[in-house]
Amino acid sequence: MNPLIKDLLMKFVEEDAPWGDITTHLIVDPKTEARASLIAKTDGVFAGSEEVETLSSLFNLSSKLNLKDGERFKAQSVLGEITGKAKDILLIERTLLNLLSHMCGVATATKNIVDLLRANGLYTRIAATRKTHPGLRLFEKKAVLAGGGDPHRMDLSSMILIKDNHIALCGGVGEAVKKVRSGSSFSMKIEVEVKSLDEALEAIEAGADIVMFDNLSSDDVKQVVDVLKRRGLREKVLLEASGGINYSNVLNYAMAGVDIISMGSLTSTPQYIDISLELEPI
């Protein structure tokens, strides 16, 4: 059992029932055993198996899932079952459904983008960003992985990403790269956010490992990529596009020739996958 996941899940339950479940305490016999079916109300991609199993075990419940993370399901599918004391199932019900529905939503959004690219013969990596909800980053990043995407950096400590505000504070792209290059470990990749061809060239010359095109149109990205190819610089760095990219325009960015497309919408605004819990006494 992952201790970090365990601690986070317990905090979620404590938030929902700081002094217990009053209604269930007054109505349900504490000895009553029950079976809960997790039923999808819409199509989606499954994510959250470890969370279901961990949350169940924390309250002495047994869980059996019918899908693995990353598998698609249809509306009305039974995703799995939880059995044990009815009072404990009711205690974790909303926490479980909220997290599972959100994780499946993130996985579904990611999988739909990845499948769209693959269907068009494109293998650009789809990545998340740090546009996550407080307390949910670990689960959202896991859901992106389940959908076939890349989590990108987990936090500010994971890698060096020089953004526009860093550049504004230190006097330029090249100077920012040189500073982090001289002070960071050889094991740490350096990524730079750029807004033009000149900035991209400056970043590459200074030794950046990854160049991110921030809020450039797909046409502008393609023009920069073409120039880098002509100058023999394309293979020296990984290229990433980010900013305003969604399902309707992601193909254009992939065809522009970047290696990575990062999308904040995967975790910030995925469509909620409606899942219900239907309980019956045993």
Burial of 98 (0-12, 13-18, 19+ CB in 10 A): middle
Apex 222 CA angle, 220 and 225, nearest 5: 110
Under DSSP, is residue 238 helix (H, G, I), strand (E, B) or coil? strand
Residues 133 and 261 in one domain: yes
31: CATH: 3.90.1170.20
Residues 18 and 141 in one domain: no
Residues 35 and 71 in one domain: yes
Residues 92 and 128 in one domain: no
Is the pLDDT at 123 greater than 90? The verdict is yes
Is the pLDDT at 69 greater than 90? The verdict is yes
The mean pLDDT value for 114-134 works out to 97
The mean pLDDT value for 44-61 works out to 98
Within its chain, how far is the Cα of 204 from the centroid?
28
The mean pLDDT value for 169-177 works out to 92
Q: Which of 4-18, 118-132, 162-176 has the lowest mean pLDDT?
A: 162-176
Residues 180 and 247 in one domain: yes
Residues 102 and 125 in one domain: no
Q: Which residue has the tokens 């004391």?
A: 85
Higher pLDDT, residue 181 or 65: 65
Residues 224 and 133 in one domain: yes
Please give the residue range of the domain that contains residue 79. 3-109+270-281
Nearest to 254 by CA among 142, 118, 134: 118
Is the pLDDT at 190 greater than 90? The verdict is yes
User: Of all residues in the chain, what percent carry a pLDDT higher than 70?
Assistant: 100
The answer to whether 106 touches 144, Cβ cutoff 8 Å, is yes
Q: What average pLDDT does the chain have?
A: 96
Is the pLDDT at 94 greater than 90? The verdict is yes
The answer to whether 261 touches 242, Cβ cutoff 8 Å, is yes
Residues 98 and 235 in one domain: no
Tell me what pLDDT residue 171 has. 86
Residues 150 and 255 in one domain: yes
Write out pLDDT tens, residues 180-189: 998 989 889 9
Return the bridge partners of 238, or none: 210
Active site amino acids: 131
Residues 126 and 247 in one domain: yes
195: CATH: 3.20.20.70
What is the rounded end-to-end Cα distance, in angstroms, of the chain?
A: 28
Nearest to 241 by CA among 255, 258, 228: 258
The mean pLDDT value for 225-243 works out to 96
Residues 57 and 184 in one domain: no
Nearest to 46 by CA among 124, 116, 119, 99: 99
Burial of 204 (0-12, 13-18, 19+ CB in 10 A): buried
Is the pLDDT at 1 greater than 90? The verdict is no
Query: What is the number of domains present in the chain?
Result: 2
282 pLDDT band (50/70/90 cuts)?
very high
Nearest to 69 by CA among 83, 81, 51: 51
Buried b (16+ CB within 10 A) or exposed e, 149-163: bbbbbeeeeebbbbe
Residues 26 and 36 in one domain: yes
The mean pLDDT value for 151-161 works out to 95
Distance between CA 117 and CA 271 in Å, rounded? 20
